[in-house]
Structures are given as C-alpha cells and as structure tokens.
A and B are shown apart, each in its own frame.
Chain A
C-alpha cells in the first residue's frame, strides 16, 4: 500500500500552510494541558448526553463517540473546489432519481443497466411517476470524501437516504470553541452554526402547494432507542420543530396531522429519519410500528413532503456508485469534479475474476451494506477470512463490489503515546431546497483511532474531529 498523504506535513519536513499556526500552538502547549482539555471534552460530551447506541451491544446501550481535540484543517481554496464538486454531484443525484422514477432516459441510453435498478431491493416501484414537490429527492446528502494526495477529492460513498452525523459537526465545534478559545483566536475558521437555519429554510422551501403560508415542519424519529436519537432531538431543538414519532401522527383525508394537547395540527414537511421500509405499514413493512399508516397515500396526493424522498436508496447504492461519473456527465454534460474510487463490479465476470485473484489487496464491500459491516479489507485480513469471503463472493457475486485499498490521508491525532498520524475521512452535508443547494463549510471528520486502521465508522471504534475550513 502506498504511503498515506499526510495533511499536515510535507515529506522533507515542511508544514502545509493551513497547519502552520496549529503546529506552532502545539509546540507551545504542554502535553498535560492538552490531556487535561481532552478529559474535559469527554466530560462535556457525557453531561450533554451526546451518545449513540451500538446495535447488538447489550453491555452499554449508550456510548460516547471518542472525540479527538486536534482539529482537521483545510484551506479555503481546497474547500472551494470541494464545494463545487459536491454541488455538482448532488445535482446529478437529484436528476438521476427524477429520471429513474419518470422518463428513464438514462436506462434507454444504456448508461446504467436496467436490472441494477429494477432488481434492486431499494428501488421503490411506488414512486414510479409520482411527482415529488419541487422535484427535489435528496434534500440532505452526506457525501463521504477521502483524500489520497494534495490535488484530488475522492467520493467514497454517497449517502442519500437519512445521513447522520451533522450534530457531531455542530457539537464538536461548540466544544472546541469552549475549550480552545486561544487556538480559535489564532485562526479564521469559517463558522458552521448556521446549518440549522439553512436546513429549516431548505425544508420550508419544499413544502407542498397545499401547505399554508407558514408551512409546519416536523422531524420524524424512530424513537429513543434509535442509535441516532440524540441527533434527532438535537436537530429538532435547533430547528425549533416538533420531534415526532409515528404514533404522534395520523392521516385523515390524505393529510397528515400531529396529535397535540390542543387537538390535531396539520404537518406539511416531514424531515424523516425513519427508513423507507418503516414509513408506512400499509405500503411497506406491515409489522412496522415506527411508521404512520396512510402516510404514503398522503404523499401520493401531494399533501406532504418527505425529506428525503422515498426511494432515494437507488442513488446511493454501492452498485450504482460505480456509474456516478457517467451519471454526472449524462445529466450535466460536465466532467465530474470529484473522483470516484476505481471500482470492480463483481457482477461482471471479468471484474470478478480480477477480484478473486487479488483479494489480498482489495477492499470488498456488500452492495447494500453500510456502517462498515460485511466488508473485507484484504491487506488487514487473515488468510482464513479471505478464503471464507472468497466463497461468499463466488456464491453471490452481484452482491459485491471491490475497490483498491486506499491509503486514506492522515491527520495528527492524540494517542496514548502522544500525537500520531491517523487516517481520516470527511462527510460534508449538502442541503438542497427548491431554489438552491448550500453546504456549510466543513463537515464531520471521522478518524480511525487504531494505528494503521482504515475503518472510521463510529460503530467500529472510529472517533471524530472538528473540521476547520480557513476563511482566507
């Protein structure tokens, strides 16, 4: 594997410009002072109750995501390029979804194979021909970005369903500003705090036509036992909207209402953090108790906006991912600004043969997996694991894609033996309303805390960092 790109140090001993001030500060700050503030940060997180749940972990149902106090820094120039690329990518995702559920030009042009859509369990036939308000499907996108060199940004994964993590972006910044005012005074860091306002504006802008002048927005959560519940309540609070559960909503005459102490009140836009499958027991899983019976018929009648729309999973599917550069070109007639990781589609015999021959070097992912589960990281796996995976792959090649093992970039991180480079990725959050697409400068940086590890997922020992975009 190639040597990872170090975001702070240039080989030969120089520092990249964005990190110069941080490096100076680190030199002046005694290690005990850093350790003290690290402990303070942890205490704050626990007190505020910023926790997440790990499924299948009965020991402790609520855990803290480790927070690393060393910020990850990017120059304004780097951000400008990334921002442009993200907007382009999300525009293409929205156009693709609109096309898939309507004219299907892209299938007729044979750019994406039919069966990848129609045989895909996340494709929602219920959405065929259905008009969604303002033609926006992905109102909130979380695009996972990695770097391998100074020039390029590479998309690792598009998240177009219910991406989470934005509360950490906001809380990490709050806590950093509380603990390191001196460090902020020495930088011009672009603020992230307007995210809730922008999100609310985007959600209001996509209200259905039948909504009143002041549309009512609510956030639909699966409830306190959901792993991202903290984020749901945090966002509802910041947006000043009701945090509703399925049982708080009822559908009458194809309109959606919430039960309040003063009777029922109409809801126009639902920022839903419940998966498609559980939204409406009458349409999807009949055993769902998280959903709202009749919600889909209100949706079809055009009386409610769901953000994100139903059926967006087809755009962030890992099998579709490999077609994204072509999708961008097809709809926008532009060269994609953000790169894709080269991807072998195991459904194609030639690719499969290559993958089987090179399992030891590749990362193999389940097409429908997420959270870093069900993944093989060839270079880190034992022989037996690789052989077991080989059998799985042969049995069901269409369920997998493979990619080269990327040397994710590294940032300085607090470890038991002092500062050391650790691999990071970045999830910026892209908001699309009826008129514009916006991104607050920054995102959630996830860091693999174990030495050499490439898995940044919080469910598997990853941590987070504050992400600074310098305002130059």
Chain B
C-alpha cells in the first residue's frame, strides 16, 4: 500500500484513541473534583489533567488558572490546542478523507458522522455539566464505534495492522502518562501509608483508563497502589496495560513482517520493549523507581513511533 495511506491510517487511529483518552481524563477529573476537599487534599486535579494530556505548558501560555472551565475548554474545544478533542476529530476526519479508499464504509461513516455532530451540536462547546457529560459520552462512543467497525469490517491486511499499531502505540503512551503524573501516589507495599485521600486518586487513575471494574475482577481486593501499578504496567489481560499494548504491537509488526517477507528495526525495537515488560516484576520496578521506569518507557515508545515512520510511512 502507499506509504501515505499507511501513515494516514496509523494517525487516524491515534487521533481517535487520543480523543477518547482525553474524554476519559476529563470525566475522571470531574468525579474527583466533585468530592469535598477533605477527600482529595490540596492537589489541583485540573492541573494533573493537563499534565496527563501533555499540554500543561501550552495551556499556561493561554490561561492563568487551571480550573474546570478553562481546562475543559482547552482539552475539549480549543482550536489553539493541537490535540484538543475537537482538533483530534477534525484531524481524524481529514485523514479519513484522504484515505477513504482504505477505510470500510462503516469506519468512514463513524468518523464523518462524528465530525458532522461536532459541528452541528458542539460547535459552541458545552455550557452545563449535563451537556459536558453528553459530549464526553459522544466522544467515547465514537471511539468505541470506530474500533468496533475496524475490528468487524476491515480486511486483515497491512491496512488493518497499521491502524491497530496506531491504537496501541497511542494507548501505551496515554497509560504511561497517567502513571507518570500519578506515580507519587503509587507506592510499594512496605512504604505505603495512605488515607482516604489517596483512595480517590487511585480510583480516578483506574477510571481514566476504564479499568476500575477490571481491577476488582483481577485482584478481588480493595484498591492497593502497588496492584494498580501492576495492573496498568504488567498485566497483559488488561487491554490498556503497557504489557498488553506491546503484545499487540509486536503481533501487528510481525504480521506486517510476514506479509512483506522482511523484518526490520521496528520489529526488533518493539520486541525489545515487550521482553523488558515480560521480564519485569513490580518489586524490581519499585526498586528501580516507578518514575524512572515510566520515563524510560515513554521515551522508548515514542522512539518506536519514529522507527515505524522511518521504516514504513515515508
């Protein structure tokens, strides 16, 4: 397939995934900030939302204060924020238009309808909490529909694999960023002295990666920070864990390698990251420092993005 087509499919999937992640982040933040101050302490949750979205620096160039109004506006609707939800959907639609021939009609319909709704219903943003909740649900449903229609209707060939790679690379990045911002509440068992304060932080982390219920199913325990870290980093049964994303990335890259009869640096790099995740346990990671571990992972993950681009997309 054309390199440009592969590139568009890959980015299209990333934009949709990112939009959903932003919607979940806002949703989770709204829940935490709705609690009385005594439950969440003095941290500014809207500030953490900006940090997990990776846009804190550009936000403060435009706004003084990270409050609900400003952050929701910036993350959801701002034209000046290149990765606001609005811009993600716009970019996804533009990418879809330029690769229409590689999309199934169901995928196109999902993106095109979302774009039409964005303009028809959400062009002025949201004014009430109820509106905002509707908007966030709309974004999450768009992503689910997009994913579902890709899964159900695409041929299993390179177009599908490049699109899936976009999803998993973006997802890994998002999960890692939450961990990066919240690592200070994820302490190992022996060091931990937490109160109700941290409990809400933890549940907020899980909520933003839609893993709150999953946690209970996997561990059958009350929320424990080291188990949360284990779930998000190493548990490959959770679709948003780093391990699961890398299992998928390695698989997709292998499928492409087989189809093209050639492996390359992207395959090797992805396997390297997956092997490291497979051979780690939470004790080592805590010893090494969660923060350092995550920082390395984010760098490695974005390096994989560059290698894929160089090997296939240009």
Interface positions of A (Cβ within 8 A of B): 46-47, 49, 223-224, 229, 233-234, 236-237, 242-245, 247-248, 258-262
Contact = CB atoms under 8 A, between A and B. Distances in A.
B129 to A, nearest CB: 31
B100 interface: yes
A49 B2 contact: no
A261 B97 contact: no
B4 A248 contact: yes
Which of B1, B97, B116, B158: most chain A Cβ within 10 A? Answer: B97
Given A260-B2, A261-B1, 19 more contacts: A46-B116, A49-B97, A49-B108, A223-B98, A224-B94, A224-B97, A233-B97, A233-B98, A233-B101, A236-B101, A242-B101, A243-B100, A247-B4, A248-B4, A259-B2, A259-B314, A260-B1, A260-B3, A261-B312
Interface in B284-314: 312-314
A223 to B, nearest CB: 7
A46 B2 CA distance: 28
5 contacts: A223-B98, A233-B98, A234-B100, A242-B101, A262-B260
Contacts of A223: 98
A229 B2 contact: no
Contacts of B1: 242, 260-261
B78 interface: no
Contact of B98 (A47, A224, A260, A262): A224
Contacts of B169: none
A261 B158 contact: yes
Contacts of A237: 100-101
Interface in B72-117: 94, 97-98, 100-101, 108-109, 112-113, 116
A259 B4 CA distance: 8
Interface in B1-18: 1-6
B94 A49 contact: no
A227 to B, nearest CB: 13
A91 B187 CA distance: 81
Nearest to A247: B4
A47 B314 CA distance: 32
Nearest to A241: B101
Contacts of B6: 261
A259 B3 contact: yes
Nearest to B119: A60
B97 A47 contact: no
Contacts of A47: 109, 112-113, 116
B187 to A, nearest CB: 44
Nearest to B101: A237
A261 B97 CA distance: 20
Q: What 6 A-B pairs come out closest when comparing CB atoms?
A: A233-B100, A237-B101, A261-B312, A259-B3, A261-B6, A224-B98
Contacts of B5: 242
Contact of B3 (A229, A234, A248): A248
B112 A242 contact: no
A16 to B, nearest CB: 38
Contacts of A49: 97, 100, 108, 112
Contacts of A46: 116
Contacts of B94: 224
A247 B2 CA distance: 11
A261 B109 contact: no
A223 B8 CA distance: 13
A247 B313 CA distance: 13
B21 to A, nearest CB: 26
A83 B256 CA distance: 49
A334 to B, nearest CB: 42
Nearest to B311: A261
Contacts of A224: 94, 97-98
Contacts of A243: 100-101
A382 B5 CA distance: 51
Contacts of A247: 4
A229 B98 CA distance: 9
B160 to A, nearest CB: 13
B158 to A, nearest CB: 6
B2 A258 contact: yes
Contacts of B112: 47, 49
Which of B3, B94, B260, B312: most chain A Cβ within 10 A? Answer: B3
A237 B108 CA distance: 13
Contacts of A258: 2
B131 to A, nearest CB: 24
Contacts of B158: 261
A46 B162 CA distance: 28
A220 to B, nearest CB: 12
Contacts of B162: 261
Contacts of A244: 2
Interface string B255-285: 0100010100000000000000000000000
Nearest to A239: B101
B3 A261 contact: yes
B116 A261 contact: no
Nearest to A238: B101
A223 B116 CA distance: 21
Given A47-B109, A49-B112, A248-B4, A261 B260 contact: yes
A302 B245 CA distance: 49
Contacts of A236: 101
A229 B314 CA distance: 23
Contacts of B109: 47
A46 B120 CA distance: 13
Which of A242, A259, A262: most chain B Cβ within 10 A? Answer: A262
Contacts of B108: 49
A243 B4 CA distance: 10
A470 B98 CA distance: 37
A259 B22 CA distance: 34
Contacts of B262: 262
A49 B262 CA distance: 38
A224 B4 CA distance: 13
Contacts of A233: 97-98, 100-101
A298 to B, nearest CB: 19
Nearest to B260: A262
B26 to A, nearest CB: 28
Nearest to A223: B98
B74 to A, nearest CB: 25
Contact of B4 (A229, A234, A245, A262): A245
A234 B260 CA distance: 28
